[in-house]
Structure 1
Amino acid sequence: MDEYKLHRHILCIDLKSFYASVECAERQLDPFKTPLVVADAGRGGGSIVLAVSPYLKSLGIPSRLRFYELPENIDMIVAKPRMSLYLEYSAKIIEVYLKFISEDDLYVYSVDEAFLDVTEYLSYYQMTDVELAKKILETIYNETKLFATVGIGPNMLISKLALDIESKKAPDFIARWTYEDIKKKLWPIEPLSEMWGIGYHMQKRLNRLGLVKIGDIANYSVLELKRQFGILGEELYYHTHGIDMSMIQHKHQVRSKSKSYGIGQTLFSDYYVPDVFQIIIEMVDDVSRRLRLSHKVAKTIHLGIAYSKEVGGGFSRQITLEQPTSSEKTIYETCLALFDKYYDKGTPIRRVHVSASNLQKAHVYQFSLFEDPERLLKEHNLFQTVDEMKFKYGRNAINRASTELETSTAKARNKMIGGHHA
């Protein structure tokens, strides 16, 4: 297994209680001493709490709950979400990273988490990876007054495990793991869902095989795991041994390869079925519109789902259609088919990506025997009219009625601020 081991110096940096810490920084308050929650109280007791301060976490208050579930015996500051402000802070943090490394060695995982490959920079700065990590955390605090934690490892997976399992509890918020730490620090962990990449549904299936601790998976038959779970089972086996061949630099190469139309969004709270379908249909609307405006049709439809950071993992799958299309109905139904096949039921979702590739000129389209040409023509004419209205009066001039739902993000995304209030 040694031949699969990377020996890089990867930092996985997470901003502690990001939204709540930004609100504390704006008020010049210490997040470790301030009872603050980020929530829109105006939406009623059922509204989702987006974040709680580290102080409230220390009292045992979870970061994900409804507003009515907050304890009434604590006098809290309730901060209304300001997503444009959080994105500004996120951009400032990225600027800090780019003071130390090249963009090619940075992978932004979410609005508050990123991977940095500092391998080629240690000799330049004449620092160890721990020393450089401390310097970066100090710079983040000096420039934004935000606290960050960091996991350090020889690959992306181990740095993430070090972050999730150890660094957040470390006095200096730093944890460094090597391959030798996997057996003593990762293998004893239970329940299985404590490991990044294992959702609740998969945990139940693994438990039925008698696998209770991470070490049980590591010592199980890789062939049997592959038989039970497909390629995900094989990947899980190697992950329990700390093996991960992902390279930050490769992620940039994959992203820039082929021409496609796509849209992705990191959600500002966990989504579940059926609310996530609202996000998918809105993204399909956007992709389909871009296909029509460019007079293109697509033969390959891709859906990517990333689970909540606490769970990790997700899926990225695509289907190549018999005939190319720009139909919203066809693209949406294809995305739903992918979702139904690969989604780990009950797992919280934090990122959705929809794209269309394998593009062709629209005039080469041929109807299949199973399509209704008259319906497709009516749909095309309808959405062409919608496109013209959006072009003339703005992208929010006309939308689906469902964009009025609380779970919708279309209007906010159309205003380029990522949701909630500016």
Structure 2
Amino acid sequence: MYLCIDMRSFFASVECEVRGLNPLTIPLAVVDDRRGDGALVMAATPALKAYGVKSRCRLFDIPKDIFFIRAKPRMKYYILYAKRIHEIFLRFVSGEDCLVYSIDESFLKIDDYVKSYGTPKAMALKIMNTIKEELHLYSTCGAGDNMYLAKISLDILAKKNNGYYYLTEEGFRNKLWDHKPITDFWMIAGGISSHLARLGIYTMRGIAEAPIGLLKKEFGILGEEMRNHAFGKEDVSLSMVKEYKPINKSISKSQILFTDYSKEEAWIPLLEMTYLITIQMCMNNIDAKGLSFYVGYNHNMELGGVAKSVSFEYRLRDFISIQKILKELYFKYVYEGQIRCVGISLFGIEAIGIRQLSLFHMEDKKYINLSKTIGDIHNRFGNNSILPGTALYEKSTLIYRNQCIGGHNGE
């Protein structure tokens, strides 16, 4: 048996708690309006959502005639509250039976503890009431026979049933087989939904009744997983998730820009993110087999974006070599326009061990050692203690981003 507990409008509720306000009655949005009308609304209180405003919308999406409080994000504060919530969870279950899914959502495996409370609902309500009494935050809980059912219960049913719902395999089939839209279900996003629609499948019943051979052909191993989920089944346990180690690793950074950038201007933050990744790679004695990058344009241009990737001839980790390859790709494929987001990923990450030497490629040891020294200075005195010259450009975002947590205000 599993509980999946989500903090309602977490960031916005924390801001209300700090101000002594009730998130159920006060319209408040967590948004950094210094980024302009295109700023992301990270969270909205239930009172603001009652006007039709959704979290993760843009500031310009909120009607001008709605009065609401604008709260600047404070990520360190939210992390502190998340830590306190996790400490409450650990009063009810051991660490091995608690999985943090995101900053405001966690799974609890309760088989070994539920007898002390009588029922899963009694245990869930005890946890939720403890959080409310001590931190003044509201939560919602989905429960189920497995992790998938607990998550689906949370996302679709719990909020409509006074904040708690227990879902079984039979209940899943009875209540949700014909539920629409299918994107409400965990792990079915827009791309998969469109693919299913081309096959004439619009519900979980449709997936359950589709030939397994068709699902495998169209989606590979994901098709088998979708088929299991269509019957409310999940083979993965919480302990398996904790033990999982990905075969392929990557290091990525991305950012949404404050304003529209030209092609030349957008190169600066992309270069700076690459610089930070290579410092990290040198510090951790790892390298990469390739890179990929993405550039997105202002939604008014309807241009979509540009995404390119390349595998290196030799495994690399130094900034000089990687930025040369990135620069060639960037200025060859990126077209001029109003750029609003950039991202870079180094993939195929591996630890550097004993390898056969190449006669055609030798690392610049002096530069690698310099990068490690810069990393040591960053760790001791902060990332802004030593900076590349690009930080002096007007369009640089490096100094500001170094003060952020997860791309948002780090206060």
TM range (shorter): 0.7 to 0.9
Partner of 1:347: none
Secondary structure of residue in 1 paired with 2:201 = coil
Counterpart of 1:196 (choices 186, 199, 204) is 186
Matching residue of 1:56: 48
Task: Verify the 8 A CA contact 2:272 2:398 in the aligned structure 1.
Answer: no
How much does 1:387 deviate? 3.9
What is the aligned partner in structure 2 of residue 419 from structure 1?
408
**1:224 lines up with 2:209 in the alignment:** no
Do the aligned partners of 1:25 and 1:145 also contact (CA within 8 Å) in 2? Answer: yes
Tell me which amino acid in the other structure corresponds to 2:53. I
Superposed, 1:338-417 pairs within 5 Å as 358-361=350-353, 364-366=356-358, 373=361, 377=364, 381-382=366-367, 384-392=369-377, 394-396=382-384, 397-398=386-387, 401=390, 410-412=401-403
1:208 aligns with 2:198: yes
2:38 to 26, 46, 51: 46
Q: Deviations over 1:92-126 (max 9, x none)?
A: 11011011111111110101111010111123x24
Provide the aligned C-alpha RMSD in A: 4.1
Question: Residues of 2 paired with 1:261 and 1:227: CA distance?
Answer: 27
Residue number in structure 2 paired with 1:22: 14
Deviations 1:123-149 (A, max 9, x none): 3x2421111000000011111100000
Q: Tell me what 1:95 maps to.
A: 87
Residue 182 of structure 1: how far off its partner (Å): 1.6
Q: CA deviation at 1:248?
A: 1.2
Give yes or no for the alignment of 1:239 onto 2:224.
no
Q: Which residue of 2 aligns with 1:132?
A: 123
Equivalence for 2:244: 254
Check conservation: 1:190, 1:212, Cα contact below 8 A: yes
Is 1:175 the counterpart of 2:165? The answer is: yes
- For residues 298-332 of structure 1, give each alpha carbon's deviation from its aligned partner in whole angstroms, at most 9, with x where no partner exists: 578899xxxxxxxxxxxxxxx99996543466699
Q: Measure, in 1, the Cα distance between the counterparts of 2:13 and 2:409.
A: 18
Assess, with a 3 A threshold, how the Cα gap between structure 1 residues 77 and 407 changes in structure 2: closer, same or farther.
farther
1:105 to 97, 107, 118: 97
Aligned mates of 2:171, 2:323 — CA distance in 1: 45
Which AA in structure 1 matches 2:25? K
| Higher alpha-carbon Rg | 2
1:326 corresponds in structure 2 to: 317
Question: Do the aligned partners of 1:40 and 1:80 also contact (CA within 8 Å) in 2?
Answer: yes
Q: What aligned pairs does 1:263-282 form with structure 2 within 5 A after superposition? A: none
Residues 1:73 and 2:65 are matched in the alignment: yes
After TM superposition, give the deviation of residue 287 of structure 1 in Å.
5.7
Structure 2 unmatched ranges of 5 or more = 257-262, 293-309, 327-343
Query: What letter matches 2:131 in structure 1?
Result: I
Distance 1:320 1:95, change over 3 A: farther
Match of 2:25 among 16, 21, 33: 33
Distance 1:297 1:43, change over 3 A: closer
* Residue identity matched to 2:376: F
Question: Are residue 156 (structure 1) and residue 144 (structure 2) matched?
Answer: no
Percent of aligned pairs sharing the same letter: 29
CA distance in 2, matches of 1:332, 1:90: 41
Runs of at least 5 residues in structure 1 that lack an aligned partner in the other structure: 1-8, 269-273, 304-318, 335-351
Match of residue 78 from structure 2: 86
Instruction: Give the whole-Å Cα distance in 2 for the aligned partners of 1:245 and 1:320.
Output: 35
Shift of 1:419: 3.4
Aligned residues: 365
